């Protein structure tokens, strides 16, 4: 085949006619497929049904320290959950608070607390004229939604295969006191699947922020979410690295079991320095008497320990790996050589990131939607939903059954082609 960019106007028009014929067939199929969100599929959820038997009316619901998990108490979590989640997050149990079911909620609370009360004695952000966050792009729309909701100005920072552009991050963070945070998904990132290089993590830990209350919001959502046994990404543990760098309080690290057991019925956690924990606990004790300890116990009894969780994640991988591979194969078969798009091939996480020709992403998503396939909205991976190049699309392959997924991926490629040809024709 010939790259579209090298085609004449006539060749493109002829190609477009053929593509439109193929597209019509999809229109007639009455599809209704959802590739928009990083949702586990039914088979993945079934993996955790055993957790529903981990507790029953005959078992003792006391945790290791003797606390009756059914009653009030243990604001920061039960000891054995701190061990399990600590092992998962690669942090000491003492550095951990176990929360409720949503790490997003923990991140929201962390920003909200900084807004109203400031961080470790510093001015509450709501009293400042301007607060800014760095947002590596493409990134996670729900992160951006939190900062947008609080009126925090978001500054996009480019990313590559090593993570965010650290020259830019260092320059901005060290020169602008109104920059208070950076959103990071350091491993199998949403949506690129990229894991930060050792150098990136090292430079993150060694930032010299102009703002004493600058924090890295380190959302390690996919820490144990490998797709392969033999191709796994490793990232340097950020708390230890920050400590080593003399910046022990620089980072808030977040994680949850939402994509390990059940989204919405998992347990979430923060890992951070003892200073930060003290600051957080001063709020937490006013906010709640405690989180759901029975669910913490349920998780611990189900997994036993981190080894049980690792085994469990292998089963997840076995279910979703073929889906990632199917999409990648279809992209390769349909799009290679046309010069109209690039995509990532992650070793883990929940997404493939697709970059189209400039100015095509919205049209691709529109065409797919019209034919019954819902993608994440174009632009969603950028702050304020505004992708300046209109080129990035997040592809979420986990939820649909594989046959549906293949159909959706084929259709997607067709939409990429149609949108690309139309875009190229504009300049002929």
Pick from 100, 248, 377, 385 the residue near a second copy by CB under 8 A: 100
Pick from 197, 265, 334, 374 the residue near a second copy by CB under 8 A: 265
Q: Around Cβ 67, how many Cβ atoms within 10 Å?
A: 18
Q: Name which of 1 and 49 has its Cβ closer to a second copy.
A: 49
Q: Name which of 60 and 230 has its Cβ closer to a second copy.
A: 60
Q: How far is CA 303 from CA 51, 83, 345, in A?
A: 8, 12, 30
Pick from 95, 192, 247, 295 the residue near a second copy by CB under 8 A: 295
Number of residues located near a second copy, criterion CB under 8 A: 55
388 is a site residue for a second copy (CB under 8 A): no
Q: Taking the complex as a whole, how short is the minimal distance between the CB of residue 383 and a second copy, in angstroms?
A: 14
Q: Name which of 5 and 59 has its Cβ closer to a second copy.
A: 59
384 is a site residue for a second copy (CB under 8 A): no
Q: Name which of 167 and 311 has its Cβ closer to a second copy.
A: 311
Q: Name which of 186 and 263 has its Cβ closer to a second copy.
A: 263
Instruction: Report d(CA 257, CA 47) in Å as an integer.
Output: 13
Buried (b) or exposed (e) across 127-166, using 16+ Cβ within 10 A? ebeebbbbbbbbbbbebbbbbbebebebbbbebeebbbbb
Q: Is 132 helix (H, G, I), strand (E, B) or coil?
A: strand
71 is a site residue for a second copy (CB under 8 A): yes
Pick from 34, 79, 92, 105 the residue near a second copy by CB under 8 A: 105
Beta-strand ranges (E) seen in 220-376 are 251-256, 268-271, 341-343, 352-356, 373-375
Pick from 30, 42, 403, 426 the residue near a second copy by CB under 8 A: 42
Token pair of 230, please? 């033999």
Q: Name which of 226 and 293 has its Cβ closer to a second copy.
A: 293
Q: Name which of 9 and 70 has its Cβ closer to a second copy.
A: 70
73 is a site residue for a second copy (CB under 8 A): yes
- Whether the bond between 138 and the residue before it is cis, its omega within 30 degrees of 0, is yes
CB 387 within 8 A of CB 404: no
Q: Name which of 108 and 228 has its Cβ closer to a second copy.
A: 108
Check residue 43 and report its DSSP letter.
H
206 is a site residue for a second copy (CB under 8 A): no
Instruction: Report d(CA 296, CA 276) in Å as an integer.
Output: 23
From 342, 339, 334, select the one nearest 424 (Cα to Cα). 339
Q: Is 124 helix (H, G, I), strand (E, B) or coil?
A: coil
Beta-strand ranges (E) seen in 205-286 are 215-219, 251-256, 268-271
Q: Which of residues 144-173 bind a second copy (CB under 8 A)?
A: 145-146, 149-150
Q: Is 100 exposed, middle or buried (0-12, 13-18, 19+ CB in 10 A)?
A: middle
Pick from 197, 283, 334, 374 the residue near a second copy by CB under 8 A: 283
CB 61 within 8 A of CB 55: yes
Q: Taking the complex as a whole, how short is the minimal distance between the CB of residue 125 and a second copy, in angstroms?
A: 10
User: Where do contacts with a second copy occur on this chain (CB under 8 A)?
Assistant: 37, 39-40, 42, 45, 48-50, 52-53, 55-57, 59, 61, 68-73, 100-102, 104-105, 108, 112, 115-117, 124, 126-127, 142, 145-146, 149-150, 262-265, 283, 285-295
């Amino acid at each position: 085949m010939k790259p579209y960019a090298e085609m004449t106007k006539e060749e493109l028009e002829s190609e477009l006619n053929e593509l439109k014929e193929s597209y019509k067939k999809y229109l007639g199929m009455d599809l209704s497929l959802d590739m928009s969100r990083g949702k586990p599929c039914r088979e993945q959820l079934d993996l955790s049904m055993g957790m529903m038997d981990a507790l029953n009316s005959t078992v003792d619901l006391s945790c290791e320290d003797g606390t009756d998990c059914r009653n009030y108490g243990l604001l920061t979590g039960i000891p054995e959950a701190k061990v399990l989640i600590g092992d998962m997050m690669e942090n000491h149990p003492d550095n951990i608070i176990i929360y409720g079911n949503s790490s997003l909620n923990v991140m929201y609370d962390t920003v909200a607390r900084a807004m109203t009360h400031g961080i470790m004695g510093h001015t509450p952000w709501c009293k400042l004229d301007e607060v800014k966050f760095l947002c590596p792009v493409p990134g996670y729309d729900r992160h951006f939604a939190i900062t947008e909701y609080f009126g925090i100005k978001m500054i996009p920072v480019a990313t590559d295969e090593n993570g965010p552009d650290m020259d830019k991050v260092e320059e901005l963070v060290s020169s602008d006191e109104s920059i208070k945070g950076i959103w990071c998904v350091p491993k199998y990132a949403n949506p690129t699947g990229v894991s930060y290089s050792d150098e990136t993590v090292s430079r993150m830990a060694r930032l010299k922020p102009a703002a004493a209350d600058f924090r890295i919001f380190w959302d390690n959502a996919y820490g144990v979410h490998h797709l392969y046994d033999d191709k796994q990404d490793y990232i340097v543990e950020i708390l230890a690295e920050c400590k080593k760098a003399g910046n022990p309080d620089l980072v808030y690290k977040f994680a949850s079991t939402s994509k390990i057991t059940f989204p919405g019925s998992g347990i979430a956690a923060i890992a951070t320095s003892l200073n930060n924990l003290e600051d957080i606990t001063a709020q937490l004790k006013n906010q709640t008497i405690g989180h759901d300890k029975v669910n913490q116990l349920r998780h611990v009894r189900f997994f036993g320990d981190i080894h049980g969780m690792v085994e469990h994640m292998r089963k997840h991988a076995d279910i979703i790996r073929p889906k990632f591979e199917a999409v990648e194969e279809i992209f390769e078969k349909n799009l290679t050589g046309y010069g109209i798009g690039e995509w990532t091939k992650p070793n883990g996480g929940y997404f493939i990131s697709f970059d189209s020709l400039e100015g095509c992403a919205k049209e691709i998503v529109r065409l797919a939607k019209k034919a019954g396939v819902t993608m994440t909205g174009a632009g969603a991976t950028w702050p304020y939903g505004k992708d300046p190049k209109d080129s990035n699309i997040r592809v979420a392959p986990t939820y649909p059954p594989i046959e549906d997924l293949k159909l959706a991926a084929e259709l997607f490629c067709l939409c990429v082609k149609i949108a690309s040809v139309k875009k190229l024709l504009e300049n002929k």
